[in-house]
Structure 1
Amino acid sequence: MKFTPLAIKKQQFKKSLRGYNIEEVRVYLEMLAGEYENLLQENKELKEKIAMLETEISTYKQIEKNLHLAVTQAQETATKTLENAKKQAELLIKEAELKAKESINKAKLEIAKIENEIQILKNEKERILSELKNFLLSELEKLNLLEPSAKIETQEKIEEKIKLDDIIKNLEQ
């Protein structure tokens, strides 16, 4: 039998000569006390369970807060890392461009130096060839001034000069 406030208020006891039946009242009070004790125990257990659940909720809320903070920090870290990586990439590109420009400028200077040396060598070659031709012509003229017997030798010298001219032409190429 469940007790409610209304049922307790409406409970009727049989009357006996001296009032209510003592045994009936005692049984009723024992049942009421047992039920009330059960309710108190249940109430205590429910309060403990509520306290435990509130502690768990508090723990979960703290975990959620920590996770949210961790996610926020991770996003910030990722953003900063990405920005730093972009800046570093830009610096590397600029550095590579500068090195490339330096290499190009060095190569251009080296090319100009080599071209200058080539021109100097060409000029030197022309000078040497010109001196050689002049020398050969002057020697040939000297031979022509010699005796007629030397003219035969001069003919041989002319042939040698032709050979020398061929050699000089090959050198010019």
Structure 2
Amino acid sequence: MKFTPLAIKKQQFKRSFRGYDIDEVRIYLEMLASEYENLLQENKELKEKVAILETEVSAYKQIEKNLHLAVVQAQETATKTIENAKKQSELLLKEAELKSKEIIEKAKLELVKISNEVSMLKLERDRILTELKNFLSSELEKLNLSIFHQKEESSEKIEEKIKLDDIIKNLEQ
């Protein structure tokens, strides 16, 4: 049987000899019905509040879920950004190393080329000096022969001989 405030108020009891006071039972039932009605109203209000709060809790849970997803995505993005930055820095470093090796190799090749050119120039200088010495020696011999054949020498020829001797000495040094 379902109790309602109206059912409590209209409840009829059998009359019996030596039973309860009817007015007292009626007053009690009316108070009980009134209290029961208040409890039902309060229960209804609490159910409405519970429904509202459940809706709010659901909304907050959704917000929490969205925030959690946003934090996870932000962490993933940060991790990917850091990884990309590391990869890019490694790539730049390798590129710089390759360029420096290339520059060093070019410098070494240039050094070899310059060394070869210096060696060639030294050989050319030595060849020219040798030819010049030979030429001057030959001229000196001619001069000596000519002096030997001539008894009288002019002062100009002696000076020329001295100059040629000095040149040969300087070239030998």
Same fold (TM over 0.5): yes
What is residue 67 of structure 2 aligned with on the other side?
Answer: 67
Identical-residue share of aligned pairs (%) = 65
Structure 1 residue 26: deviation in Å? 6.3
Give the SS at the match of 1:69.
helix
Superposition pairs of residues 18-167 of structure 1, within 5 angstroms: 20-21=22-23, 28=28, 30-146=30-146, 147-150=150-153, 153-167=156-170
Aligned length: 154
Structure 1 residue 46: deviation in Å? 0.9
CA deviation map 1:135-158 (0-9, x unaligned): 211111221222232375444234
Output the CA distance in 2 between the equivalents of 1:68 and 1:46: 32
Cα RMSD, aligned residues only: 2.8
The 8 Å contact of residues 129 and 171 in structure 2, kept in 1 or not, is answered as yes
- Normalising by structure 1, report the TM-score: 0.73
Structure 1 residue 102: deviation in Å? 0.9
CA deviation map 1:102-140 (0-9, x unaligned): 111110110011001101110111111111111211111
Gapped runs of 5+ residues in structure 1?
1-7, 15-19
- Normalising by structure 2, report the TM-score: 0.73
| Partner AA of 2:96 in structure 1 | A
What is residue 5 of structure 1 aligned with on the other side?
Answer: none
Output the CA distance in 1 between the equivalents of 2:168 and 2:20: 158
The 8 Å contact of residues 140 and 154 in structure 1, kept in 2 or not, is answered as no
| Partner AA of 1:120 in structure 2 | M
Ranked by relative contact order (alpha carbons within 8 Å, sequence separation 6 or more), the top structure is 2
What is residue 4 of structure 1 aligned with on the other side?
Answer: none
The 8 Å contact of residues 144 and 150 in structure 1, kept in 2 or not, is answered as no
Distance 1:70 1:169, change over 3 A: farther
Structure 1 residue 30: deviation in Å? 4.9
Output the CA distance in 2 between the equivalents of 1:78 and 1:72: 10
Distance 1:39 1:169, change over 3 A: farther
Gapped runs of 5+ residues in structure 2?
1-8, 12-18
What is residue 3 of structure 1 aligned with on the other side?
Answer: none
| Partner AA of 1:118 in structure 2 | V
Moved more, 157-166 or 63-72: 157-166
